[in-house]
A and B are shown apart, each in its own frame.
Chain A
């Protein structure tokens, strides 16, 4: 079963970037969604609706592996354009030691506070992005599992 999941993930990732397979583990309490994921190569949810999803985007050109570039691009998109409040920025590492960045945002949805994290790695002309979000109370309850899942990423 595990091999099958890896194969599916690998095929999806390869179809998007045509090289390495993206991999990520699912923490207990999350259900991995296998269909209808759209542009996501991975997606999982808790019963409370806290969602962790990943996408891998191919970006050609010199400088495409610059974490500073993508940090600024994501910040402009989410903070300046979409109105998310940037609450924290952290350095992260993938399972194989690849350095990445994590932007932590807050946003009110229908008057309720939500948390939204974007964690990303840039190498080999591709950007691997893990999004995590949900209602603040549910998200905070699931936070250790989310951090564990992010630490398990092989971008």
Chain B
């Protein structure tokens, strides 16, 4: 029975888009593909790192057809929630992530300011602690949000990466399609099977159903990661050592200004 099931999976494998030699499932000795081949996850896609010097302006990410599709999707408000949209053929799905390290005089107000940027651009707060904040921003507002964030303090380090998840998405989509086809065949077989065979088919059906749920989750996660870019900001309180030296004016009382002397009531 399982060999029969395996052969049904093999038929679907031919309908899949081309995969690399490294990730292609190896045929068994009898020339057929095993069901377990369908579950093998593809290798992670390469991550492109874009490091720029501190004073360089933010580089405009490459505009691709998929970005426009996703921007329209994000703008219409169904970006991450939509489970119907699939990437167009030959379109690339890019996940943008920015990491900034900034020096500010007051960390808490700066954290509030970043949170406001997320809200004002249609994004949301992902996590926040005493010195770090992570926000998710609609892809279309990514550059605008970065500019606003960079104006809240001195940027010490800036790193922007674009991860191409197109291959992973297409592969997961094909595997999902195959798994659904297998499930349909199993269900058809189940209706005609004898009791002993029905138990085996039922077990296989449960496994394939779980597999489908896993792939659906992966696809949803990838769509969300593409539709909403991630910005992580680390703040460092600006210390005395970082302050600019300036010549002293001949007014000693200028040095008496400030909170310590003002608040000393003794």
Alpha-carbon separation in the docked complex, A149 to B71 (Å): 53
Alpha-carbon separation in the docked complex, A107 to B262 (Å): 14
Please tell me which stretch of A4-12, A21-29, A73-81, A93-101 contacts chain B, meaning at least 4 of its Cβ atoms lie within 8 angstroms of it. A73-81
Closest B residue, CB atoms, query A83:
B243
In the complex, what residues of A have CB within 8 A of residue B105's CB?
A: 83-85, 106-108
User: In the complex, what's the smallest C-beta–C-beta distance from B213 to chain A, in angstroms?
Assistant: 47
In the complex, what residues of B have CB within 8 A of residue A51's CB?
A: 262-263, 265
Q: Does B21 contact A (CB under 8 A)?
A: no
- CB < 8 Å neighbour of B106 from A36, A59, A77, A85: A85
User: In the complex, what's the smallest C-beta–C-beta distance from A68 to chain B, in angstroms?
Assistant: 15
Q: Does B24 contact A (CB under 8 A)?
A: no
Q: Is the CB of A81 within 8 A of B246?
A: yes
User: In the complex, what's the smallest C-beta–C-beta distance from A155 to chain B, in angstroms?
Assistant: 16
User: In the complex, what's the smallest C-beta–C-beta distance from B108 to chain A, in angstroms?
Assistant: 6
Closest A residue, CB atoms, query B260:
A109
Q: Is the CB of A55 within 8 A of B253?
A: yes
Given contacts A106-B109, A131-B257, 17 further A-B contacts (CB under 8 A): A33-B265, A51-B263, A53-B262, A73-B251, A76-B246, A77-B257, A80-B243, A82-B243, A82-B258, A83-B239, A85-B105, A107-B106, A108-B105, A108-B106, A116-B258, A118-B257, A131-B262
Q: Does A113 contact B (CB under 8 A)?
A: yes
In the complex, what residues of A have CB within 8 A of residue B106's CB?
A: 85, 106-108, 113
Contacts of A83-131 to chain B: CB distance below 8 A: 83-85, 106-109, 113-114, 116, 118, 129, 131
Q: Which of B108, B245, B255 has the most CB of A within 10 A?
A: B108
In the complex, what residues of A have CB within 8 A of residue B109's CB?
A: 106, 113
Q: Is the CB of B259 within 8 A of A109?
A: yes
Q: Which of A49, A108, A134 has the most CB of B within 10 A?
A: A108
Give the interface size class of chain B: 20 to 34
In the complex, what residues of A have CB within 8 A of residue B243's CB?
A: 80-83
User: In the complex, what's the smallest C-beta–C-beta distance from B76 to chain A, in angstroms?
Assistant: 38
Alpha-carbon separation in the docked complex, A111 to B230 (Å): 29
Closest A residue, CB atoms, query B254:
A77
Q: Does B3 contact A (CB under 8 A)?
A: no
Q: Is the CB of A45 within 8 A of B265?
A: yes
Alpha-carbon separation in the docked complex, A53 to B253 (Å): 14
User: In the complex, what's the smallest C-beta–C-beta distance from A63 to chain B, in angstroms?
Assistant: 13
Contacts of B230-266 to chain A: CB distance below 8 A: 237-240, 243-246, 249, 251, 253-259, 262-263, 265-266
A/B interface sample: 25 pairs, CB < 8 A: A39-B253, A39-B256, A43-B265, A51-B263, A57-B251, A57-B253, A73-B251, A76-B246, A77-B257, A78-B257, A82-B257, A83-B239, A83-B240, A83-B243, A84-B258, A85-B104, A85-B105, A106-B106, A108-B106, A108-B107, A113-B106, A129-B257, A131-B257, A133-B262, A133-B263
Q: Is the CB of B251 within 8 A of A49?
A: no
User: In the complex, what's the smallest C-beta–C-beta distance from B239 to chain A, in angstroms?
Assistant: 8
Alpha-carbon separation in the docked complex, A57 to B259 (Å): 19
In the complex, what residues of B have CB within 8 A of residue A53's CB?
A: 262
Closest B residue, CB atoms, query A69:
B249
Alpha-carbon separation in the docked complex, A81 to B105 (Å): 12
Alpha-carbon separation in the docked complex, A109 to B109 (Å): 14
- CB < 8 Å neighbour of A80 from B239, B246, B256, B266: B246
Interface string of A30-68 (1 = CB under 8 A from B): 000100100100010100010101010101000000000
Q: Is the CB of B238 within 8 A of A83?
A: yes
Alpha-carbon separation in the docked complex, A114 to B239 (Å): 16
Q: Is the CB of A133 within 8 A of B259?
A: yes
Q: Is the CB of A78 within 8 A of B258?
A: yes
Alpha-carbon separation in the docked complex, A106 to B106 (Å): 8
Q: Is the CB of A116 within 8 A of B240?
A: no
